[in-house]
Amino acid sequence: MSRRIPLVTIVTAALLAVQIHAQTKQEEDIVAAAQRTQTPQSVLRMAQEIRKQVLTLPQYGVFDDIRFQIKDYTVTLKGEASRPTLKSSAESVVKRIEGVEKVINQIKVLPLSPNDDRIRARVYAAIYYHPTLSRYNPGRGMPVYLTPARVAGGITNDPPVGFHPIHIIVNNGNVTLTGIVDSAMDQQIAGIQANSVSGVFSVENEIQIADSGKK
């Protein structure tokens, strides 16, 4: 005569096995998460490389502003691109950086607008041709001359090359200035110059000051 095992015993054993498995899985997840935790040094190295790769893209220029965040080996790209190719190019180079496992591309491609194109050219001239701000131009006081033909052909597709510390973002007539300047006075002048341009609806001055102690 076979001995029957009470059903309650079977259920209890099954539940115990599930609990043990769940606990083991949870412990494994905790260990795995601890092993994957990024150190401040690794985050800094990754950030420096991302910045380098994005800034050296041929498509990246004075009319673009790309920012990023790093969390758990995932990089989120943000900001605005005046040309669609910049969005895909930025994602492509960041994906190849050591340590990056995932890229979330939230870069906004600005609308193609002849009016915005003209505003970019005018705001660029108003800022970088100004006697006080011209030293920020890659020509170091000798701003890139925008010929009428160049402006007519579309400055967005043929932007001034070189490092420009003040970036000009134009979206449907609204201008946002980003970047870094030496003083509060330079920041204010840039905003005033952008506001003086015909056709500009609004100006958001987000330029930062390199040394807040300077006036």
CB distance 75 to 102 below 8 Å:
yes
Q: What is the mean pLDDT of the chain?
A: 83
CB distance 134 to 141 below 8 Å:
yes
Kindly state whether residues 92 and 136 are assigned to the same domain: no
Local confidence band at 215 (pLDDT 50, 70, 90 cut-offs): very low
The domain total for the chain is: 2
Q: Between these two residues, 161 and 35, which has the higher pLDDT value? A: 161
Give me the CATH number covering residue 47. 3.30.1340.30
Is the predicted pLDDT of residue 28 greater than 60, yes or no?
no
Kindly state whether residues 126 and 75 are assigned to the same domain: no
Last residue of a domain, one of 109, 125, 147: 109
What is the rounded average pLDDT of the residues 204-210? 95
CB distance 154 to 163 below 8 Å:
no
| Domain hosting residue 54, numbered range | 40-109
What is the rounded average pLDDT of the residues 188-202? 96
Last residue of a domain, one of 73, 89, 109: 109
Per residue in 30-79, pLDDT (tens digit) is: 444 444 567 888 888 899 999 999 999 999 999 999 999 998 889 999 99
Kindly state whether residues 118 and 205 are assigned to the same domain: yes
What is the rounded average pLDDT of the residues 102-129? 93
Q: What is the DSSP string of the chain?
A: -PPPPPHHHHHHHHHHHHHHHHHHHHHHHHHHHHHHPPPHHHHHHHHHHHHHHHHT-TT--TT-EEEEEEETTEEEEEEEESSHHHHHHHHHHHHTSTT--EEEE-PEEPP--HHHHHHHHHHHHHHHTSTTTGGGSTTSSSPPP--HHHHHHHTTTSPPPS--SEEEEEETTEEEEEEEES-HHHHHHHHHHHHTSTT--EEEE--EES-TT--
Q: Please name the amino acid found at residue 92.
A: S
Q: Kindly report whether the global pTM for this prediction surpasses the value 0.85.
A: no
Local confidence band at 14 (pLDDT 50, 70, 90 cut-offs): low
The per-residue pLDDT for 128 is 93
What is the rounded average pLDDT of the residues 80-86? 94
Kindly state whether residues 103 and 173 are assigned to the same domain: no
Let me know if residue 19 belongs to a domain. Answer: no
Is the predicted pLDDT of residue 180 greater than 70, yes or no?
yes
The per-residue pLDDT for 51 is 93
Let me know if residue 135 belongs to a domain. Answer: yes
Kindly state whether residues 45 and 85 are assigned to the same domain: yes
The per-residue pLDDT for 34 is 45
Kindly state whether residues 103 and 190 are assigned to the same domain: no
